[in-house]
A and B are shown apart, each in its own frame.
Chain A
Amino acid sequence: MKKISLTIAVIFTMLTTTNAQNSAEKIIAGNQGLHIGGYGQIDFNLPTRDGTMYKNGTLDVHRLITFIGYNFNEKASFVSEIEYEHVTEVYIEQAFLDYKIKDNLSINAGLMLIPISIQNLYHEPPTYNGVERTNVDKYIVPTTWREMGIGLSGRSIENSLSYQFMIVNGFNGYDNGGKFSGKSGLRSGRQKGAKSYITFPDFAGRISYYGKPGLNLGFSAYVGESESMAYDGLDLANESAVSSADSTIIGIQMLGVDARYQKGALQLRGQYILANLSNTDQYNALSGKDLGSKMTGYYAELGYNLLANFNTTNELIGFARYENYNTHAEVEAGMSINEAYNRTEITIGLGFKVAEGAMFKADYQIISNASSEDLKGQFNFGTAIWF
């Protein structure tokens, strides 16, 4: 009787109240139900003149994501994100089943975000400064990095810790040719859950600590080997074929440390990612690529809400960020470091938050690399939406 009256009551509640805050949640009954949300990043990028050379600007609905979640009951829920990138590319960013084994411990299975880096995990545009995500995240992490697997996520509230551990498929390193490169690192090897294949499972884990109010620290690790189609149908008795296939995989050990601090009007953010790649000499020899054996990326950012002392919930955040990412921090013997891959960007800009989840953004980037004294510039303008 109680359950029926509760259901009727909640339906009335849904019809008569605006209790759901900024999100498009449609709660059907108590904790159960369908939830729809979304986020979007719309950009206008305008490179400055390159000496006497003019460059066109570009305008792009960079990404538009629909979040669809469904609570089956108190314990089981499904989380998914469908993404349109650059209007025509459709991808799934997340699609996993979450089951609460007990309070504060869940098992997750499906397509999941690899738990490394702030922007890989928290990638809704109003949650970061700057029109674009950082290039440290794009090239070193490489965001949005999501693969298929199974894992545990949980927390210890008394110790202010959250954790995630998962076994996942790895990057597609070789499929009729090498997928990795010196310039883009592992980025082109992301399988994204689209008919992913697996040769060896990889492991990813993260621990977040938030014991000190305002400070959020994250420690992440990823260990494994890249996948290779060269193993498919491989005759294990053929030593030369096996040796050749072995050359198409690389070992990957990635470590990430990130920190976010927020107090009053002040926001600080920093991240350091280190990737050690092994067997890159054999990989490069076979594939003709120029993959480095070590990649590093880091950034430090400071932001300040200029409207903090005004009587408004709007925010005008001025920020500055320094980032460096180097896909050739080290290379194996026999190859020379390409200094152009040691890239630095300084970004300064503003974000004007007009509502929870709605921002206008503008920034200017000074882009350089170690191979040249030349500086390039780029203006970026955009809107950031999350509901």
Chain B
Amino acid sequence: MFLINTKNTKLFFSKTTILMLVALLFFSFKFSDWEFDKKYRTIIHKSISEIFNSNTYIIEELEEFEDAFYSVKESENIIGYFVVTKAPSKFHQFDYYIIFNAKTDILKIEILQYRENYGAEICSKRWLKKFISITTNNYSQYNREIDGISGATISVNSLKKDVFKLSNVLKKKIK
């Protein structure tokens, strides 16, 4: 186990390569490598502390998920969740994360790195705000609530589908 202490927070790193391989055998590529990227760690932790208004939270990896889901806990109570993941753009992938509250409502989505030449419009924070508290029960309705972006069709659809899937994966496991 490798621990990093940052002020009063603790990070639990993903366990062994074998565990990751087993997880990967199922569905998508579990993006636990984000924990090794200082820039990503900084961005994500800053968002978490701002959203939950806390410097004393702890994150805990949720091993049972195929994707890199974590719970955010304050004094043993779960106050939220987040997931760090990749989704495909035209022929690269972009890295992003979603923060949820304890009821699994989406609180924030941010793109960590966008690699494609086209479609960077999905990084726009104002556009990403459309996902906040969006209903993810029915795909048609959810799809209609998010405006498309001309010139970024592939990335928009990819993010929409991925967010819908991850939101429902979380809702299903938590309930």
Give the distance to chain B from A130, nearest Cβ to Cβ, in Å. 15
Complex: A216 Cα to B147 Cα, angstroms = 13
Q: Are A264 and B154 in contact (CB under 8 A)?
A: no
- Some 24 contacts from A to B, beta carbons below 8 A apart, are A2-B20, A5-B24, A6-B24, A9-B21, A16-B25, A16-B26, A16-B27, A19-B28, A21-B88, A21-B158, A21-B161, A30-B93, A31-B92, A71-B91, A77-B91, A106-B117, A118-B150, A162-B120, A210-B149, A216-B151, A264-B147, A269-B150, A311-B140, A313-B140
A205 interface residue, CB < 8 Å from B? no
Complex: A351 Cα to B138 Cα, angstroms = 24
Given contacts A1-B17, A157-B114, A216-B121, contact A71 B150 (CB under 8 A): no
A35's nearest neighbour on chain B, judged by CB, is B91
Complex: A210 Cα to B150 Cα, angstroms = 10
A260 interface residue, CB < 8 Å from B? yes
Number of A-B residue pairs at CB separation under 8 A: 126
Complex: A377 Cα to B49 Cα, angstroms = 63
> Which size bracket describes the interface of B in this complex?
35 or more
The residue from B88, B114, B149 contacting A20, defined by CB atoms under 8 A apart: B88
B141 interface residue, CB < 8 Å from A? yes
Q: Are B88 and A5 in contact (CB under 8 A)?
A: no
> Which size bracket describes the interface of A in this complex?
35 or more
Q: Are B91 and A25 in contact (CB under 8 A)?
A: yes
Q: Are B115 and A5 in contact (CB under 8 A)?
A: no
Q: Are A13 and B27 in contact (CB under 8 A)?
A: yes
Q: Are A313 and B139 in contact (CB under 8 A)?
A: yes
A15-26 contact mask (Cβ, 8 Å, vs B): 1 or 0: 011011111010
A334 interface residue, CB < 8 Å from B? no
The residue from A74, A98, A216, A263 contacting B117, defined by CB atoms under 8 A apart: A98
Within 8 A of A (CB), among B109-161: 111, 113-115, 117, 120-121, 123-124, 126-127, 130, 138-141, 143-144, 147-151, 153-154, 157-158, 161
Give the distance to chain B from A119, nearest Cβ to Cβ, in Å. 11
Q: Given the complex, which residues of A lie within 8 Å of B28, measured CB to CB?
A: 13, 17, 19
A214 interface residue, CB < 8 Å from B? yes
Q: Are B161 and A122 in contact (CB under 8 A)?
A: no
Q: Given the complex, which residues of B lie within 8 Å of A289, measured CB to CB?
A: none
Interface centre among A1, A13, A98, A308, by most B CB within 10 Å? A13
Q: Are A262 and B150 in contact (CB under 8 A)?
A: yes
The residue from A5, A121, A269 contacting B17, defined by CB atoms under 8 A apart: A5
B13 interface residue, CB < 8 Å from A? no
Q: Given the complex, which residues of A lie within 8 Å of B126, measured CB to CB?
A: 211-213
Complex: A160 Cα to B124 Cα, angstroms = 7
Q: Are B27 and A17 in contact (CB under 8 A)?
A: yes
B65 interface residue, CB < 8 Å from A? no
Within 8 A of B (CB), among A235-264: 260, 262-264
Q: Given the complex, which residues of A lie within 8 Å of B40, measured CB to CB?
A: none
Complex: A20 Cα to B29 Cα, angstroms = 12
Q: Are A213 and B115 in contact (CB under 8 A)?
A: no
Given contacts A100-B115, A160-B124, contact A8 B21 (CB under 8 A): yes
Q: Given the complex, which residues of B lie within 8 Å of A311, measured CB to CB?
A: 138, 140-141
Within 8 A of B (CB), among A52-105: 69, 71, 74, 77, 79, 98, 100, 103-104
Given contacts A127-B150, A213-B126, contact A31 B93 (CB under 8 A): yes
Q: Given the complex, which residues of A lie within 8 Å of B139, measured CB to CB?
A: 313
A133 interface residue, CB < 8 Å from B? no
Within 8 A of B (CB), among A117-144: 118, 121-122, 127
A302 interface residue, CB < 8 Å from B? no
Give the distance to chain A from B117, nearest Cβ to Cβ, in Å. 6
A22's nearest neighbour on chain B, judged by CB, is B157
Complex: A261 Cα to B150 Cα, angstroms = 8
Give the distance to chain B from A156, nearest Cβ to Cβ, in Å. 9
Q: Given the complex, which residues of A lie within 8 Å of B20, measured CB to CB?
A: 2, 5, 9
The residue from B17, B91, B147 contacting A2, defined by CB atoms under 8 A apart: B17
Give the distance to chain A from B147, nearest Cβ to Cβ, in Å. 6
A324 interface residue, CB < 8 Å from B? no
Q: Are B120 and A157 in contact (CB under 8 A)?
A: yes
Q: Give 5 A-B pairs besides A31-B92, A264-B147 with Cβ atoms closer than 8 angstroms.
A: A25-B88, A153-B117, A262-B148, A264-B144, A308-B144
A176 interface residue, CB < 8 Å from B? no
Nearest 9 pairs of A and B residues by beta carbon: A9-B24, A35-B91, A260-B150, A69-B91, A210-B121, A5-B21, A213-B126, A157-B123, A311-B140
A330 interface residue, CB < 8 Å from B? no
Complex: A30 Cα to B126 Cα, angstroms = 29
Q: Given the complex, which residues of B lie within 8 Å of A263, measured CB to CB?
A: 147
Q: Are B24 and A77 in contact (CB under 8 A)?
A: no
Give the distance to chain B from A357, nearest Cβ to Cβ, in Å. 8
Q: Given the complex, which residues of B lie within 8 Å of A9, measured CB to CB?
A: 20-21, 24-25, 29
Complex: A71 Cα to B17 Cα, angstroms = 25
